[in-house]
Amino acid sequence: MFLGTFEHTLDAKGRLAIPAKLRNSLGEKAVLTRSPDRCLVLYPMDEWNRLAQQLSQLSQADRNARDLQYFIFGGASECEIDAQGRIIVPAMLRNYASIDGDVVSVGMNTHIVIWSQAAWAERETRVNGDIDNIAAQLVGLF
Amino acid sequence: MFLGTFEHTLDAKGRLAIPAKLRNSLGEKAVLTRSPDRCLVLYPMDEWNRLAQQLSQLSQADRNARDLQYFIFGGASECEIDAQGRIIVPAMLRNYASIDGDVVSVGMNTHIVIWSQAAWAERETRVNGDIDNIAAQLVGLF
DNA sequence: GGCAAAGTGGGGAAAAGTGGGGAGTTTTGT
DNA sequence: ACAAAACTCCCCACTTTTCCCCACTTTGCC
C-alpha cells in the first residue's frame, strides 16, 4: 500500500532514493516504466507481473497493441533497490519525463508514480480549484 | 523477461552485441528471424519452440499458411552467443531490415525486437503524441 | 542532546561494448 | 584444377559505462 507525496532529488548519476515509507511495501526488485502522461511508474513485482501478462496476451496482429507493448515493455527497466534504498533511472526515462534534479514521488496505493518537480507543480495548479468539478463527475464512488 | 530499449551498433563484420540486460534472460542459443514490419525478432529457444510448433500445425492446404511458414522458417537463423555476448546477423536479414551500423534493440517481455536506428526513429515520431489514444483504446489494462 | 535512520554524494573495481588481427574454411573466377 | 578472394570463427585489447562500497550530512525520534 503506497501512500503520500514526497519531494526529493535525483543525483548526477541518475540514482533516485525511494522514500522509506514507500520503500517498505516494495520488495527488493521493482519495475520502472513510462506512463502516457509524461511521468514514470514504479510497480512492485507482483503488480508488474499482472500487468505484463495482460499486455502480452494482446494480439500481435493489432497495431495499437504492439505500439502499447513497445511503449510499456520498451520503456521498462527492472530495478534493484541498492543498499541505500535507491534505484537507477535510465537516461532514456529521465529524458522522457524531463527529470533532472528535483523529483516528486506519489504513492498511488498499488504503485508509485514519479514526476519531475516542474511537471508536478504545473499539474497541481491546473487541477487546483477544479477538483470539485472533477469529483462531481465521478459521483457514485463516494 | 526482456525489458528496455537499447541503442548500439552492428560492426562491419555483421556482429551485434546483445545488451547485457537482455542477454541475461537468453540462453546460449537463440533464433533470429524477420518480422512483417521490416525488423528482426530474436526468440529464446523455449519461446521459439512454441512458435515453431504452432506454425507447423497450420494447414498445408492453406496458401497463406505456407507463405507465412516460408517467411518465418526461411528467414530464420539459429544464433550462438559468442564470448563477447554477440550474435552474427546474416547478410540477408541485415538487408531485409535495412540494418547497417546503428541499431535499436527492444525487449518485448517474451522476445527481443531489433530495428535499424532510422526505422525506429521513424516509428517513434509516428507514435509520439498518439500514445494517449492508443492507451485509451486498451483501457482495462491499467 | 544524542542516537539511529534516511537521504545524498563520490571514488574505484569490475563488467559491458566496441574494434581489429589472423588462422582455417568455403566460395568464386579463370 | 588451382589460385585468389571472401567469409567464419576465435582470440585479444582498449574504452566507456555500470555497479558496489564507503563516507558525510540531514532529519526524525526518544
DSSP H helix total and E strand total for chain B? 6, 8
Considering only the beta carbons, identify the residue of B5, B109, B134 that sits closest to A64.
B134
pLDDT over 60 at B142, yes or no = no
Set of cell numbers at residue B126? 509516428
pLDDT over 80 at A89, yes or no = yes
Q: Global pTM?
A: 0.91
Which of B28, B75, B25 has its CA nearest to residue B51?
B75
- What residues have CB less than 8 Å from A40, skipping those under 6 apart? A32, A33, A34, A89, A93, A96, A97, A99, A113, A114, A115
Instruction: Give the pLDDT confidence of B1-56 residue by residue, as tens digits.
Output: 999 999 999 988 889 999 999 999 988 889 999 999 899 999 999 999 999 999 99
Cβ of B53 near strand D (distance < 7 A) = no
Considering only the beta carbons, identify the residue of B4, B131, B142 that sits closest to A71.
B131
pLDDT over 80 at A110, yes or no = yes
In whole angstroms, D13 C1' to A119 CA is 46
Instruction: Give the pLDDT confidence of B97-135 residue by residue, as tens digits.
Output: 998 889 999 999 999 999 999 999 999 998 887 888 877
pLDDT over 80 at B137, yes or no = no
What's the mean per-residue pLDDT of chain A?
91
Set of cell numbers at residue B63? 496458401
CB contact under 8 A, A71 and B134: yes
Contact A131, A125 (CB under 8 A): no
pLDDT over 70 at B141, yes or no = no
